[in-house]
């Protein structure tokens, strides 16, 4: 009798866990899953180019839609002269044609703005951890307790991958208005997560969002 009761309790726990997991991660027919953190946008569970939350995925220069071998001003689509997103055209947010999340995942997805990344930073608990052998941050919502994992994929300069396993670099869709050769980027390491700016040509990861 006692053994049967224990089996029943274990089965109930498994069922409840499965229901909770289904509530946290949504798909709705899309091949890309996302999590509702109770924020203004929903966050993808993986980076662009990745199949799992722990995988770094691909690296993209700001405003480019394909990964490449080398990241510098010479290979940058808009060049050092900044053919687009400059002070003359006054465009301050990536257009959908230059948004790798939209181009590769579909119109429901896009790169988050600086404000949306700040919302993630300010409304979640950030815990540096190791998940399946990969270092990064478990980002848990203070609102509903749901979470995503952001791997510390580093960044690419020329053909070199730098700081992988130690730091994360995630582009926002927002240009740095004071210096158009730079864009705002969410940067983190084991002791801190913040917004900074970086040259548009460097290769960084993309974690898409959707409504």
Quick one: pLDDT band at residue 129, thresholds 50, 70, 90? very high
The 10s digit of each residue's pLDDT in 51-61 is 999 999 999 99
pLDDT value of position 6: 47
Backbone angles phi, psi at 38, to 5 degrees: 80, 15
Q: What percent of the chain has pLDDT over 90?
A: 85
pLDDT value of position 17: 33
Quick one: pLDDT band at residue 26, thresholds 50, 70, 90? low
Quick one: pLDDT band at residue 24, thresholds 50, 70, 90? low
Furthest-apart CA pair in the chain: how many Å? 78
pLDDT value of position 25: 67
Q: Which two tokens stand for residue 87?
A: 């002070």
What SS3 state is found at 136? strand
Task: Give first-to-last CA distance, the chain, whole Å.
Answer: 50
pLDDT value of position 20: 37
What DSSP designation does 80 have? Answer: T
Sign of CA dihedral 199, 71, 133, 150: positive
Quick one: pLDDT band at residue 7, thresholds 50, 70, 90? very low
The 10s digit of each residue's pLDDT in 201-211 is 999 999 999 99
Contacts 24+ apart (CB under 8 A), 79-85: 80/181, 82/180, 82/181, 85/175, 85/180, 85/200
pLDDT value of position 31: 84
**Mean pLDDT over all residues of the chain?**
90
Sign of CA dihedral 99, 103, 105, 108: positive
With beta carbons less than 8 A apart as the criterion, state whether 210 and 109 touch.
Answer: yes
Q: Which residues pair with 175 in a beta bridge?
A: 183
Contacts 24+ apart (CB under 8 A), 126-132: 126/188, 126/193, 128/190, 128/191, 131/53, 131/54, 132/52, 132/54
pTM above 0.85, yes or no: yes
Q: Which residues pair with 131 in a beta bridge?
A: 134
Q: What order of strands is seen across the sheet that includes strand 134-141?
A: 124-131, 134-141, 147-151
The three-point CA angle 155-156-161 to 5° equals: 85
pLDDT value of position 27: 56
The 10s digit of each residue's pLDDT in 81-117 is 999 999 999 999 999 999 999 999 999 999 999 999 9
19: pLDDT strictly greater than 60: no
């Amino acid at each position: 009798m006692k053994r049967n009761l224990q089996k029943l309790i274990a089965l109930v726990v498994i069922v409840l866990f499965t229901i909770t997991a289904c509530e946290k991660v949504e798909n709705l027919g899309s091949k890309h899953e996302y999590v509702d953190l109770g924020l203004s946008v929903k966050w993808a569970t993986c980076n662009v180019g990745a199949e799992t939350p722990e995988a770094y995925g691909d690296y993209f220069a700001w405003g480019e839609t394909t990964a490449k071998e080398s990241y510098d001003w010479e290979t940058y689509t808009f060049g050092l002269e900044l053919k687009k997103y400059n002070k003359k055209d006054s465009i301050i947010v990536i257009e959908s044609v230059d948004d790798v999340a939209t181009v590769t995942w579909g119109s429901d997805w896009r790169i988050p703005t600086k404000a949306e990344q700040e919302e993630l930073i300010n409304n979640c608990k950030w815990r540096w951890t190791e998940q399946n052998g990969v270092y990064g941050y478990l980002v848990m919502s203070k609102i509903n307790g749901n979470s995503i994992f952001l791997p510390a994929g580093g960044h690419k300069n020329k053909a070199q991958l730098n700081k992988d396993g130690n730091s994360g670099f995630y582009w926002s869709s927002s240009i740095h208005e004071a210096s158009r050769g730079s864009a705002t980027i969410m940067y983190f390491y084991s002791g801190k997560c913040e917004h900074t700016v970086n040259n548009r040509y460097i290769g960084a990861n993309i974690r898409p969002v959707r409504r």
